Structure 1
């Protein structure tokens, strides 16, 4: 076969570009997960105290934020093929929003706000709502996260054109 006789079935799509973008996203996720885990540990330490009776008090929401960030870091270190297969089967349809960066960004912002508000005098009467609001933010983020991702991608494309 000569060089000019290339058959269409012999042409392969370059998948290196797709693999590089996935690797780049995973590296960014790892860095942000590790960074924000340290931020939440710092928040927890800042709000930790021992009262005059020797009781230990800390911001459990900040520690929960640390746990979530650590899980984001661990997720990006490992490879979750089941969740990332968006179009195949029940896992792809229902678990795909869990890999949305906007979902976890929204959740971490809510947890940071609640961790700070938890110790404010005006928030004391609402402090029982802190944990339910943290879990509600996960539920809300599950539905709005993928839509926010699409919006940020569209905004990124518009900013590159300008």
Structure 2
């Protein structure tokens, strides 16, 4: 279990089903999750590229540093770039340009998926965002590994089945 869970959001207002909002509020009140409001303005990495912290602007426009061990990014509903527009990434009409093989931006190690990117034939469908995220995740895993990784399926890979703790179908 994590020692601390932070939920970073651009504002202290959430859109979700009432039951989910009530669950989030209960977790906040129990101290199991802390909500941090702000916009990411940059990243801090250790030598070798390991993510160590996020640079944020709080709602009052003050810079903050948020250390972290693990960053999980989830889909949002706002295609506005916000501070990302100032990161020096190549853009076309307020959208990030990407390599469609990997969804890499013009800065190594930064990928863009969903409505914030653009490329010839782009369709703004959530299904496309999931496809883009899959290719970006494979690209980053291969970048970190330094070589191509095999595509494995949970239905046929004994290695994945062992990791998941499920028996191979016979």
Q: TM-score range by the shorter chain?
A: under 0.3
Q: TM-score, normalised by structure 1?
A: 0.24
Instruction: With a CA cutoff of 8 Å and minimum separation of 6, indicate the structure with the bigger relative contact order.
Output: 1
Higher-Rg structure is: 1
Task: Give the structure with the larger strand fraction.
Answer: 2
Q: TM-score, normalised by structure 2?
A: 0.23
